[in-house]
Amino acid sequence: MAHVFKAESARANPSTKEIAMTITSIPARRITSQSLQPVRSLAHSCRTPRASRVLLPAIAVLWSAFGVLCSTAVQAQPSSLATANISSPSSFVTPEFRANWGLGVIRAQDAYAMGYTGKGVTLGIADEPFQFMHPEFANRVQWPSPIPAFPVPGYEVPSHGTHVMGLAAAARNDVGMMGVAFDTRLSGVIAVPAAGYPFPQDWAQELVDAGVSVMNGSFGPPPAPPMFFQDGSYNPNYQVIDFLALSPDQLDAYYESINKLAKADIVMVFAAGNESEVQPIASQIPAGYGMFPLITPDNTRAGALYRVITDESDRADPSSWEFIPLTDPDLANADASEFQGALITVVALDQNNQIASFSNRCGAAAAWCMGAPGVNLLSSVPMSTYGFKSGTSMASPLVAGSAAVLRQAFPYMTARQIIEVLLTSATDLGDSDVYGHGLLNLGRAVRGPVEFGSNPIFAATFDVDTRGYHSVWSNDISGPGGLRKRGAGVLSLAGNNNYTGDTTVVSGTLAVNGSIVLSDLEVLAQGTLAGSGTVGDTLVRGTVSPGNSIGILTVDGDFLQTAGSTYRYEVNGTGESDAIRVTGAAVIEPGAILKVQPLADLELLREYDVLSVSDTLTGNYTVNGPDYLFLGQRVGLSASNNRVLSYQVARNGVQMASYAQTGNQASVAQAIDSQGPGAQPFDSLVSVTSAAGLPAAFQAFSGEIYASNQAILLANNLALSRALNNRIQDSFLANPQMSRQSGIGRVNSDTIAWLDVYGNSERLAGNQNATSVSANGAGMLVGLEHALSPALRLGGVLGWNQTSAEASASKARTNAYQLGVYGAADLGRARLSAGVTQSWYEVDVNRTISAGYGTPAGSGASSSLSGDATQVFADIGLPFSFSANHTVQPFWNVSQTWLRMSSFNETASFAGLKGDASQNASGFSTLGVRLQSDFQASGATWSTSAMIGWQRGWGDLTTTSTLGFQEGGDAFTIRSAPMARDALALEFGIGATVNQSTKVMLVYSGSFGAGTSSQSLQAQMQWKF
């Protein structure tokens, strides 16, 4: 609306008295019907000092007229907080809480237990000057800045504003009392003058500039006419009138302030006034700002609630009042009804929830009026202490503090919606002309709206934009109105609601976990319906997603889902799935999508309910499920019930092995495929939607380490025969007294004991069948040999070796125990040596199964198995000397090994394997030349040796293991990475004869071919006897 009256309607130079009446707002305080002297003393203890009556005589008169009932300030003692457990309402009911008796009446503890304390909200108080440095407001005042000095020396200390601020928001600090919104930020602006302090400016604009979202105004005009003047004298012109006397400047001021605050989306709360004992008829409606929305053309013409007098009229003398004629266009057209629902006016209640004797009533303003405790309330007062006061001034901040709590609980709601929730959630006290909506009930308000469309000052449809928040309304909502949900975020309705207006989901998610059975529901294209509650007739153009994960949504009525809409369908492997149960008929238009979202692997061929009806079922969904590689999907009528649509998955024709990258992966994939439902790892892999990880999964399940370790053991046997050949060659070539005639060495001792300590490593390169494998080991050999004749030697050996092989996140640790015999014969121009060894194995295998696809975290398997190997070997050489210290020996050696491993069963947490007993055999021959030289140095005889040769392999160069899954399926064969068929063999050694009986040697051996390698380093010591 425009200004109620044009600015020129006021006189150019109004008197001080007129300024006080029309511009300055006076605290809404109670005047008692006690004797004159008590009234004067109370006013003096809580009012402006005498100096102000000299400076502002009109203000002094108005101040006295409104009065206050307050006690002498009392110093509160600290109280003990409850235990740190704040999960229940009772934990907040401490001595500090009880000191403000209004908190328990409005059920503030219920809000606190839900975590709502006003945190993050800025609450503004418009009043007289404040003690911002009161401990109850420490570190929370954000306006004004800097904080002004208080008190002003030489002037009376105002206390009203500090008391009001404390009731709204005093801290929870274990001292004195606490306010409703004890976690809010605070802003205080001067709206009521006090002598010696800055004169009020545009207090409403200051609140806007301070960024408040809730404001409290516990001030208003004095009664007109007053019963007593400020000095305590009786007003001889006093009379009871039956209407409120308003002035043009007063109405202009109301409009200017309220309009600014409304445009800034600020929740406005105003005290209703304390005029009942002075003007018992006129006070049947609120005074001041709280009555302003009653200004309408109809009410103006009726003249029953208010009348407008000229600014020149003396408000204290009704005989001087000049009424502005109803024909005045500004008056006739004045309409403030747009602000109905933009503010709350508050009446005061006593401890029995009865209207306070001094309080104005709600009357014609009942639609935006409510009651709150306002008698004998303890709160903060200067200086840093506490005192009791009564008045609607005290009731109003309880509502404002509650509004701040709601703005935290529902940060997406507009100011009008916060007001609607506060009003409609109030506890009914009976006569609405007295109590309006009733008693403030914060414990109920924080649970959301209670009524839609019942109060004509609010829109019939509660149109809310949740702005990305997730919010729960748990009250039971009634009324003829409806709900419109907009914006991102989730709004959950948890109550058993019976409002009858339409419900529309424009965007975001509406989760119905209670019921809205009496409301017709429409979900638009950008909206989502969720929850496990009950809805009425439902039309889905957007998305329906039953449950809050998996759940059942009940439609108590008919259900229609249009083309292009989506049913977001969750299902797990335990038989649980989303479902819609319709008590009426259901129509699924062609093009409606069933968007399947599995939460776990599904049971094949099982029918999962999608939608059931009690009446007719028309249409079907188009499945848009995961892009399963190995499953097909269908939705259709259940085989057992033609009123149920069900979803089913079944194995398609794609073979798992088609995604394998090696022969071993193909073998295990075929075995997994043969398992079928109910076995692992089939159940983990059959539901995959991406091929990217399948080769790694097949590899993890393959057990390739069992075959690869056998190849390592065969390679270790070759290294064993090579070590013994080195020992035999040294027996002949190490004799410093070599025969130059024949080139054949002779030993000078009948018996030699020797010790060989070695380390070895093996690496087999991967191929199209298997991944690479590497191994490291260490061991020792202890031998004893004896010369039966100058041309014949025999020996025996005992050995131990430990090898650790790794392949594809699996490890095999093998302990080997060895026994062997060997011999060598001098045949003249040739030398022949041969031997046989027997090895016994204890193998421990540990596999890490990190295949993904539902494999439990930390899955693994282990087994223990045994085995043995038999090896025979022979070597023939043709040594000749081309000097006294140098020997060349062409040679050819050959070895054959037969390896046998036991069966096994893994101990596994997931997808364990079992293995059959296996046999593998391989042989190797080497054709090459050996070189040996002796020399003297540092008083010792040194020998060096070298060998180079071509190594050829045959037999089971690729070893195999036959495995199977313990949970069933076909057996499968796993092949190792191959040992080299052709390889370069090298050897280098150096030794020294320490004395006549002791010799030490160091020998490196290696073979290399086709990405494989076998290397060892031996340290040997021998003693001659």
Q: Which residues are catalytic?
A: 127, 160, 393
Residues 790/820, Cβ–Cβ less than 8 Å: no
How many residues make up the chain in this entry?
A: 1025
> Which residues are paired to 484 by β-bridges?
463, 504
Which own/partner contact pairs does 739-745 have at CB distance under 8 Å and 24+ positions apart? Answer: 740/881, 740/884, 742/828, 742/829, 743/829, 743/879, 743/880, 743/881, 743/887, 744/826, 744/828, 744/831, 744/879, 745/879, 745/887
Distance from C-alpha of 429 to C-alpha of 416, rounded to nearest angstrom: 23
How far is the first Cα of the chain from the last one, in angstroms, to the nearest whole number? Answer: 125
Q: Cα-flanking dihedrals φ and ψ of residue 695, to 5°?
A: -55, -40
Cβ atoms < 10 Å from Cβ of 782: 14
Cα Rg for the chain, rounded, in angstroms? 49
Output the six-digit token pair for 316.
Answer: 């204290």
The stretches of 874-1004 forming alpha helices (DSSP H) are: none
- Rounded Cα distance, 943 and 554, in Å: 94
Helix (H, G, I), strand (E, B) or coil at 318: helix
DSSP state of 92: G
Place of tokens 């060495």: 745
Residue 575 backbone zone (phi > 0: left; psi -120 to 50: alpha; other: beta)? left
Of 59, 63, 4, 69, give the one whose Cα is nearest residue 33: 69
For residue 906, give every residue at least 6 positions away whose Cβ sits within 8 Å of its Cβ, in sequence order, or none: 845, 847, 861, 862, 863, 912, 913, 914, 966
Side-by-side strand order, sheet with 385-390: 69-70, 385-390, 377-381
Three-class secondary structure assignment of 541-590:
CCEEEEECCCCEEEECCCEEECCCCEEEEEECCCCCECEEEECCCEEECC
Measure the CA–CA gap between 630 and 653, rounded to whole angstroms.
Answer: 7
CA distance 328 to 715: 115
Paired tokens of 276: 């009942």
- The residues near 302 (Cβ < 8 Å, ≥ 6 apart) are none
Task: Answer yes or no: are the C-beta atoms of 368 and 423 closer than 8 Å.
Answer: yes
Residue among 464, 485, 364, 461 at smallest CA distance from 418: 464
CA-CA distance, 579 to 545, in Å (whole number)? 9
Residues 6+ apart with CB under 8 A from 405: 108, 111, 116, 117, 118, 121, 180, 181, 442, 446
Tokens matching residue 284: 């049947």
Q: Is 314 left (phi over 0), alpha (psi -120 to 50) or beta?
A: beta
Tell me the HSE value of 456 on the side-chain side, using a 13 A CA sphere: 3
CB 867 within 8 A of CB 903: no
Helices (H) and strands (E) counted in the chain, each on its own, are 20, 53
What whole-number distance in Å separates Cα of residue 55 and Cα of residue 48? 11
434-461 CB burial, b ≥16 within 10 A, e <16: bbbbbbbbbbbbbbbbbbbbbbebbbbb
